[in-house]
Amino acid sequence: MTLAGLFWLWEAAPSKRQTALAGYFFGLGFFGAGVSWVYVSLHDFGGMDAPVAVVATALFSAVLALLPGLAGFTLGLFRCKRTILFTLAAPALWLLTEWLRGWILSGFPWLALGYAQVPTSPLAGYAPLLGVYGVSLLTVVSAGLLYLFWRSGDRVLWAGIAVALWIGGFGLKQIEWTQPTGAPLTVSLLQGNIAQDVKWRPEKALGTLQIYLNLAKASSSRLIIFPETAIPLFYEDVPKDYLAALASHAQANGGDVVFGIPEYAPIGKGAYYNSVMTLGSSLSQVYRKSHLVPFGEYIPLKPFFPWFIHQILHIPLDDFSRGDEFQKPLQVGGERVAMSICYEDAFGEELIRQLPAATLLANVSNDAWFGNSIAPQQHLQIAQMRALETGRYMLRATNTGMTAIVDNHGRVTTHIPQFELAALHGKAQGFTGSTPFVRWGNATVLVLAFTMLLLSWKTMRH
């Protein structure tokens, strides 16, 4: 409905400047509400003064809003019929600027419109074919059809096309793109609920270790997963008897434990990683986070901004090194698990590098950085979309929530409420096979969007 309102503003705008401004101010409201949690991360846990955090959050939203503004400006170049403008040109331009946001300056694909459709909307049925950006595209097409229904005399036509689009999505949801393999795996996802402001205090480390050891020992599951950096020590500093206890318990269960931990790797001048390691019945393995958060996990243009992290923000472990882009799935609990850490799962085309070999997806995160904001729910929606795109279960282990098991249709089968100390015990089914998105990634939807733009351009009135 709000997009249909934006289309009304775009059609009424007398110039490209006005269409750009309409898109920009729409984006300002969209991102101002959607990423308001940035303030919580900067002020509540990053130590930034409140006025500075407000300004930083506003500037972040203002920069992101440039892309809807760009879509509006570019739309102003088209002189098409209303029907072409809002069913082809506008949806394609929105999608391309959304995709651009997902990779420019390392990418921020949060708040892609397609996430709002998971898992129950019929449009979610297109996710295994076109991914989240394809669902975004069809969401904007639906808004265009709604606008035409409102503004055009031929309402039966536009309503019929919209119904056909959504029925098509419903039909696609009935297709099983992947196939189950083996028996369901018993899993335990641990939520330690360690407050962010005490997580890295040295005097709290032993207590944190004990919390997770107790949760792990209470589990009889073949696969036990800790959250991101659940162990607040470098691997080399963890007591050996602690690691031995974890390994022994996992072996007694006939499975493995997967735990998030910072890892120091003295290669060359030395480097440290945001890592996941395994212990238990399988050979010990490591996954190192590759897609890092700018200013949170590494400092862009480091020679020019060292003061930013150390004097403006107070973030521990602020200069991680990147893991390899192409890493193999972890072989644990009898399954092959495609791993991601924190917001790596927002990059669907990167996650599918581990597929179709992987039979399960897993994400470990420390969403305590977001506090009691909307971000953890948004992050869960992202995980649900990854399950839909790949046709596989997604296991989410988080520090403070939302810890959940998501099935291959993107539905949350069970979860732990936020801010509770608990373990989530359940089962996850492994799957094999490839969805079209796993095979082609974002290429299909990008070709579709450019084709829509080309068709729009060819119909322009000269």
> Residues with catalytic annotation?
228, 289, 342
Name, in order, each residue with C-beta under 8 angstroms of 288's C-beta and a sequence gap of 6 or more.
263, 273, 274, 275, 276, 321, 322, 323, 324, 327
Give the number of other CB atoms < 10 A from CB of residue 5: 15
Q: Which amino acid is at 349?
A: E
The owner of tokens 């249909």 is 4
Would you state the structure tokens that stand for residue 300, as one six-digit string?
């862009």
Q: How many CA atoms lie within 13 A of 386 on its CB side?
A: 34
What sign has the CA pseudo-torsion 336, 341, 346, 347? Answer: negative
At residue 364, the 3 state secondary structure works out as: strand
Q: How many other C-beta atoms can be found within 10 angstroms of the C-beta atom of residue 27?
A: 25
Torsion of CA 361, 363, 364, 366, to 10 degrees: -170
Of residues 7, 318, 271, the one with CA closest to residue 152 = 7
Q: Residue 344's closest CA among 67, 125, 106?
A: 106
175 CB neighbour count, 10 Å cutoff = 11
**Helices 66-75, 50-64: inter-axial angle, 10-degree rounding:** 20
CA distance 109 to 98: 7
Q: Please, are residues 367 and 402 in contact by the beta-carbon 8 Å criterion? A: yes
Structure tokens of 251? 């072996």
Decide: helix, strand or coil at residue 288.
strand
Sequence-distant (6+) residues with CB within 8 A of 261 are 229, 230, 231, 233, 234, 235, 238, 275, 276, 277
Report residue 131 as tokens: 């991914």
Q: How far apart are CA 205 and CA 230, in angstroms?
A: 10
Rounded Cα distance between 112 and 133, Å, is 7
Residue 213's CB is within 10 A of a number of other CB atoms, namely 15
